Amino acid sequence: MHITQLNRECLLHLFSFLDKNSRKSLAKTCHKLLEVFQDPILWSLLNFNSPVELKKRNFLLGPALKYLSICWYSERVKVCNIEDWMKNNFQKDFCNKHENTVTDFLLEVGNRCPNLLSLTLSGCGHVTDDCLLLLLRNCPSLKTLKLENCVRITDRTLEAVTLYGRSLQTLHVDFCRNITQTGLERVREKCPSVMLRAERSANMIPDSKPEKKFMLEKSSRKLVQL
């Protein structure tokens, strides 16, 4: 029996064992398999290991998506985590190639995936508060939000959680250096039922502009002299 002679239920079951690339390759062989590839049932969960994977278009994005994870553990993440004003030209060029990749993708998710239940972002150094605010507002069923090493996330995201995270049960903001203790306390106060974890975040050195750092160093020198 040829694979195309199998009924749709069997084909969907077979596709469910394949990764995104294999599904896409198989879908290119004939129209029937392409239709199976495009069935929303296959795409309730998406995992990505780098921003580059988001551009492959080897997946289907829609209301069926429930679980999304983008985790980038490459050494190159360290470049994205450097404060913008401290980056040299090489580092800036590197970041420019993918600076908006994850953000643009998440904006699509916010507009097309209203049934999202879980979002995990790790090493996504260019994701902004505005992006997560849109997601929280447009995905009212979101129960789990896990952020790790997302350096541009600030207390604005925590504020959005208190305003729009009505279904949220779990919130992790680990190693997000621009999160403050004040923001965390506000979440605990406004959303006592949320399981909040913030490993190291409020204890890390936050970003600041060069002139601000200069003023702090100047003040420190004056104190030492006194």
Strands (E), 84-210: 118-122, 144-148, 170-174, 195-197
Q: What is the CATH number of the domain that holds 58?
A: 3.80.10
Q: How confident is the model at residue 212 (pLDDT cuts 50, 70, 90)?
A: low
Is it the case that residue 224 has pLDDT exceeding 50? no
Identify whether residues 132 and 90 lie together within a single domain: yes
Domain total of the chain = 2
User: In the prediction, which pLDDT does 214 show?
Assistant: 46
User: In the prediction, which pLDDT does 43 show?
Assistant: 97
Identify whether residues 93 and 169 lie together within a single domain: yes
Range of 147's domain?
43-197
Identify whether residues 193 and 133 lie together within a single domain: yes
Is it the case that residue 170 has pLDDT exceeding 60? yes
Cα–Cα distance, 120 to 216 (Å, whole number)? 35
User: In the prediction, which pLDDT does 218 show?
Assistant: 47
Instruction: Compute the chain's Rg from CA coordinates.
Output: 21
Identify whether residues 155 and 170 lie together within a single domain: yes
Does 53 map to a domain? yes
Cα–Cα distance, 18 to 33 (Å, whole number)? 13
Identify whether residues 16 and 75 lie together within a single domain: no
Q: pTM for the whole thing?
A: 0.86
Query: Crossing angle of helices 155-164/181-190, nearest 10°?
Result: 10
Q: Are 144 and 169 in contact (CB under 8 A)?
A: yes
User: In the prediction, which pLDDT does 164 show?
Assistant: 96
Does 214 map to a domain? no
Q: How confident is the model at residue 197 (pLDDT cuts 50, 70, 90)?
A: very high
Identify whether residues 77 and 156 lie together within a single domain: yes
Does 21 map to a domain? yes
pLDDT (tens digit, 9 = 90+) per residue, 150-168? 999 999 999 999 999 999 9
